[in-house]
């Protein structure tokens, strides 16, 4: 039954696989296009877990890439990728959790006694005077109806009682509330406001989130997993490469930060915690200045990481002054493009 769905998803992902897309571009395609296909099917029936796992596997292979027939090693789990930005994820929706929240639309129709033919038919020939919350499922009923009852039971389980579930369905935005109840939860990501500013380039934001969480494939992370034997910083070729060294202690990065910090009037650029403490304490108020600092901060993180990768994979290097010019230029373009939002 679900073979056409899996074939369409596989076809679209294979078509995009050879495109030079950033993480942010791939995430956008997964959320906007790929997610829409099972979402259409999932509005009627509960997708089998096996189908959901196959869809997730295809999305993982597309997002992280395949090298010599094997998925590339990653340092962040799929569940953590699916968390919202405020919890340290990138906002990919969990298909099964969203599927359950979608099916609650039909249960809500029964609860509010919607004047539709489907509701009248279900009450007359299926429920037969029994309340939806007390209906007992047997093997005689269809898979579609069994899916609805499974979602009903899941909703009662997460809310605690049938009355609490009924109150949730009465909310105008119950789908979003229900999805938050079903999905995997994470701890609060305290830096999400700084890294999630709307002025920040999406592909910069994803790298910034991974860098702050030490989830990038830095050489020390690769060494800990036995993928690399020698740990040496690509930028300075003197010390071991870790997240703190690459983005702060390396002389190359320090030269970039020295100019960017003066430009942005940031007094502390030595460690992640001290940077975000400074932003929380001093980068107050509204307007372009606050967002500009955030945009430049994440843009700098992105370009240091990009410079490191260019030296490894392309054998191309740039001077700190080139990176500084590029950072200022990209921030200028971003602010210029959003000038109307700030009243310029």
pLDDT in tens, 170-205: 887 887 888 888 888 888 888 888 888 888 999 999
Phi and psi (nearest 5°) for 137?
Answer: -85, 140
Pick from 96, 102, 100: which is nearest to 78 by CA?
96
Asked if the model's pLDDT at residue 277 lies above 60, the reply is yes
Cβ neighbours for 33, distance < 8 A, ≥ 6 positions apart: 12
Per-position b or e across 117-140, b if 16+ CB within 10 A of its CB: eebeebeeeeeeeeebbebeeeee
Parallel, antiparallel, or unpaired: how do β-strands 70-71 and 66-67 relate?
A: antiparallel
pLDDT tens readout for residues 61-90: 888 877 656 667 778 888 888 899 899 888
User: Over 70: is that where the pLDDT of 321 sits?
Assistant: yes
Confidence of residue 147 (pLDDT cuts 50, 70, 90): confident
Query: Which pLDDT score is estimated for 286?
Result: 59
Asked if residue 42 has pLDDT above 80, the reply is: no
d(CA 37, CA 226): 38
The tokens for 118 are 């489907």
Q: What is the structure's pLDDT at 26? A: 86
User: Mean pLDDT throughout 34-54?
Assistant: 83
Q: Which two tokens stand for residue 313?
A: 């994979």
Output DSSP code: residue 34: I
* Burial class of residue 34 in the structure, from the number of CB atoms within 10 Å of its CB (0-12 exposed, 13-18 middle, 19+ buried): buried
pLDDT, residue 252, reads: 94
Query: Residue 36: which pLDDT band, with cuts at 50, 70 and 90?
Result: confident
Residues above pLDDT 90, as percent of the chain: 24
Question: What pLDDT was estimated at residue 342?
Answer: 44
**DSSP code per residue over 39-108:** HHHHTTSPPPHHHHHHHHHHHHHHHH-EETTEEPP-SS-HHHHTS-GGGTS--PPPHHHHHHHHHHHHHH
Show the tokens assigned to 107. Answer: 């249960």
Q: Which residue has the higher pLDDT, 94 or 15?
A: 94
Q: Supply the DSSP string of 310-344, one letter for each residue.
A: HHHHT-----HHHHHHHHHHHHHHHHHHTGGGGT-
Query: Which secondary-structure segment (H or E) carries 117?
Result: helix 117-122
Q: Which of 103-117, 312-326, 330-344 has the highest mean pLDDT?
A: 312-326
pLDDT at 287: 59
Please count the other Cβ atoms lying within 10 Å of the Cβ belonging to residue 275.
22
pLDDT (tens digit per residue) in 295-312? 999 999 999 999 999 999
pLDDT at 1: 66
Is the pLDDT at 285 greater than 70? The verdict is no
Task: Dig out the tokens for 250 from the structure.
Answer: 């390396």
**95-113: average pLDDT:** 88
- What is the longest distance spanned by two Cα atoms in the chain? 78
Please state at what angle helix 143-159 crosses helix 162-169, rounded to 10 degrees.
100
Q: How far apart are CA 114 and CA 142, in angstroms?
A: 22
- What average pLDDT score do residues 223-234 get? 87
What is the rounded average pLDDT for all residues in the chain?
A: 85
The dihedral built from the CA positions of residue 208, 214, 220 and 221, taken in this order, carries a sign that is negative
Cα–chain center distance at 44? 26
């Amino acid at each position: 039954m679900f073979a056409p769905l899996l074939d369409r998803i596989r076809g679209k992902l294979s078509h995009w696989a050879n495109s030079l897309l950033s993480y942010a571009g791939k995430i956008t395609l997964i959320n906007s296009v790929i997610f829409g296909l099972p979402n259409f099917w999932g509005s009627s029936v509960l997708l089998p877990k096996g189908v959901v796992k196959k869809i997730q596997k295809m999305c993982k292979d597309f997002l992280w890439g395949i090298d010599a027939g094997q998925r590339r090693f990653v340092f962040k789990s799929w569940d953590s990728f699916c968390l919202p930005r405020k919890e340290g994820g990138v906002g990919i929706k969990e298909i099964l959790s969203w599927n359950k929240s979608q099916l609650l639309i039909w249960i809500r129709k029964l609860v509010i006694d919607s004047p539709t033919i489907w509701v009248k038919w279900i009450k007359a020939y299926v429920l037969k005077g029994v309340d939806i919350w007390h209906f007992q499922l047997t093997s005689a009923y269809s898979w579609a109806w069994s899916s609805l009852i499974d979602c009903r039971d899941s909703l009662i389980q997460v809310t605690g009682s049938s009355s609490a579930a009924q109150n949730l369905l009465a909310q105008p935005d119950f789908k979003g509330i229900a999805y938050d109840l079903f999905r995997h939860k994470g701890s609060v990501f305290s830096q999400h406001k700084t890294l999630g500013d709307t002025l920040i380039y999406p592909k910069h934001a994803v790298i910034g989130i991974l860098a702050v969480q030490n989830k990038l494939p830095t050489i020390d992370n690769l060494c800990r997993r036995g993928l690399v034997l020698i740990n040496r910083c690509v930028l300075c070729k003197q010390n071991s490469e870790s997240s703190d060294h690459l983005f702060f202690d390396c002389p190359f990065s320090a030269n970039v930060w020295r100019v960017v910090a003066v430009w942005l009037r940031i007094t502390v650029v030595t460690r992640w915690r001290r940077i975000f403490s400074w932003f929380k304490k001093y980068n107050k108020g509204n307007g372009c200045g606050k967002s500009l600092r955030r945009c430049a901060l994440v843009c700098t993180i992105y370009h240091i990481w990009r410079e490191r990768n260019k030296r490894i994979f392309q054998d191309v290097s740039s001077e700190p002054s080139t990176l500084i010019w590029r950072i200022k230029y990209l921030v200028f373009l971003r602010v210029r493009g959003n000038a109307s939002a700030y009243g310029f």
